[in-house]
Amino acid sequence: MGSPAVRMFHRLEGLFCVYKPAGVHWKLVRDTIETNLLKGVNATPARPLPHEVRFLPSPNKDREVAGGLALRAASVPVLSKHPLVTGPEFQHIKVGVGHRLDVSSSGVLVLAVGNGNRTMRDLYRTRTTRDYSLQCEFGMATQDFTDTGRVVERSTYGHITREKMERVIAMLEGANQKALRMYSSVDMSSQEAYELAAKGLLGPDGKSVPILTGLRCVHFQPPNFTLEVQCLNETQKYLRKVVHEMGLELRSTAVCKGVRRTRDGPFTLQHALTRHHWTAADVAQAMQQHRWKKRSKGRCGTVTDKAVAQTPGETLAASQEDEANREATIAELQCR
């Protein structure tokens, strides 16, 4: 309709992503964003109050009117429409969360406002993958696979080499590719399956077990090492369990110190808003940028929504690029 608050709200409808800090529940993030958006929308200047004519007792007692009491007409504002009586125009905004992150993980968290919720649902109905960076450590095994849990076992890790690591990774990747083919809903011995596999579109539709479409060790310095994972239908606890199992495969033990999501579908770290930018103006700007990007991507016709499940080779190239970016920024910081 017409009011400035409603116009501001329409500008705030869409998708955007934030960087969730570790140690904060995702619901708190969502509530903080909702509060900030409400502040922004209700800060717009209010509509002027409608007036009505009322008959107030006239102070002038000389006038003689049939009936006795003198009245005069006055135009007074209708107080039942005053914002202190009705409350602010917006008291609730529908903010939805995409794939959730648990308390100790950090990273890209996609949020949708208003009509953007429908767009987000449609986006997730097509197969999107997520990128994670796992900081891990050899030498101990804990109850909940993190470094702060109760220690169950300690072991040596001196015998682990990069080569053994790569062998274990290859074995895990093979198992996951097999799961990918198994959970896709096409018959493996058909022409259709071959064509889909050639394009890289083979995969489960909807719910399935967590599948890692790509796994790579980017940094290896015992006891610490870093893994980069691309996966679908995962939970952060599953990823920590994968690290634990890798430790077991290498005849040692490993825990996950930190899980960080670097990409969720088309949203990457670059687009994520940090805590200081969780205001209505910044959110509106982020949404606008996402819309432009989507429009320009659609025009160029490079990646359609369906072909998002990439082959391991493509994901390796993309993640190498991400890694190069991160190393460049870190080098830049160190120079100062």
Partner 1 sequence: MSSACAALCRRCRWLLSPKSSTRLYNVQVQRSMKVDQSARVGNGFSSRGNHTATLTGLSWKRQTSYHHDFTTKYLTTEAKESTDELSRTDATENKPALMPAVDAFTLGKSKKSPDDLDADDECSALEEISEEEAFGISIPPSIPPASTSLQQYVDKSETLTKLVQLGVSLWKLERRPNVGSMLLKLDFNRDVAPRLLFLKEIGVEDSRLGYIISHNPFILSENLENLQARVNYLKSRKFSSETVASMVSRAPYLLNFSVKRLDNRLGFYQQQLKLSSANTRNIVARLPRLLCGSLEPVKENLKVCEMELGFKENEIQHMVVAVPKVLTANKKKLTQIFDFLHNTMKVPHYLITKFPQVLNTKFLRLKERHLFLEYLGKAQYDPNLPGYVSLDRLVSLPDETFCGELASATLEDFYLFQKTL
The site map against partner 1 for 239-268 (x = CB under 8 A) is ---------------------x--------
Q: Which residue has the tokens 């991400």?
A: 322
The 315-334 contact track toward partner 1, x by CB under 8 A, reads -----------x--xx-xx-
Quick check: 56 binds partner 1 (CB under 8 A)? yes
Please, which residues bridge with residue 187 across strands? Answer: none
The answer to the question of residue 281 lying near partner 1 (CB under 8 A) is: no
* Sites for partner 1 among residues 191-230 (CB under 8 A): none
The number of residues that bind partner 1 (CB under 8 A) is 42
59 binds partner 1 (CB under 8 A): no
Q: Binding of partner 1 at residue 1 (CB under 8 A)?
A: no
Task: For the CB of residue 129, give the shortest distance to partner 1 in the complex, in Å.
Answer: 20
What tokens does 51 get? 């007036």
Task: Tell me which residue has tokens 């998708």.
Answer: 15
The residue from 2, 60, 62, 73 that contacts partner 1 (CB under 8 A) is 73
Are 112 and 209 in contact by the 8 Å Cβ rule? The answer is no
CB-based contacts of 131: which residues, under 8 Å, 6+ apart? 228, 229, 230, 261, 262, 263, 264, 315, 319, 322
For residues 286 and 40, is the Cβ–Cβ distance under 8 A? no
- Which amino acid belongs to residue 28? L
Contact 50, 78 (CB under 8 A): yes
| 275 near partner 1 (CB under 8 A) | yes
- Contacting residue, 1, 85, 300, 324, with partner 1 by CB under 8 A: 85
Main-chain phi, psi angles of 204, to 5 degrees: -75, 150
Taking the C-alpha atoms of residue 142 and residue 151, their distance in angstroms, rounded to an integer, is 4
234 neighbors 194 (Cβ within 8 angstroms) = no
- Given 31, 62, 102, 187, the catalytic residue: 102
Taking the complex as a whole, the smallest distance from the CB of residue 159 to partner 1 amounts, in Å, to 31
**Active site (annotated) includes residue 102:** yes
Using CB under 8 A, pick the residue from 2, 23, 45, 59 that binds partner 1.
Answer: 23
Rounded to a whole number of angstroms, the minimum distance from the CB of residue 130 to partner 1 is: 16
- The Cα 58–Cα 23 span in angstroms is 66
Q: How many CA atoms lie within 13 A of 335 on its CB side?
A: 6
Task: Report the residue from 82, 159, 291, 295 that binds partner 1 according to the rule CB under 8 A.
Answer: 82
Among positions 21, 158, 174, 313, the unique one binding partner 1 when judged by CB under 8 A: 21
Between 22 and 201, CB nearer to partner 1? 22
Who contacts 96 (Cβ-Cβ below 8 Å, separation ≥6)?
Answer: 111, 112, 113, 116, 117, 120
Q: Which stretch in 35-43, 154-162, 272-280, 304-312 sits in contact with partner 1 by CB under 8 A?
A: 272-280
Provide the binding-site residues for partner 1, judged by CB under 8 A.
19, 21-24, 50, 52-57, 65-69, 71, 73, 78-82, 84-87, 106, 260, 269, 272, 274-277, 326, 329-330, 332-333, 336
Q: Which residues are catalytic?
A: 102
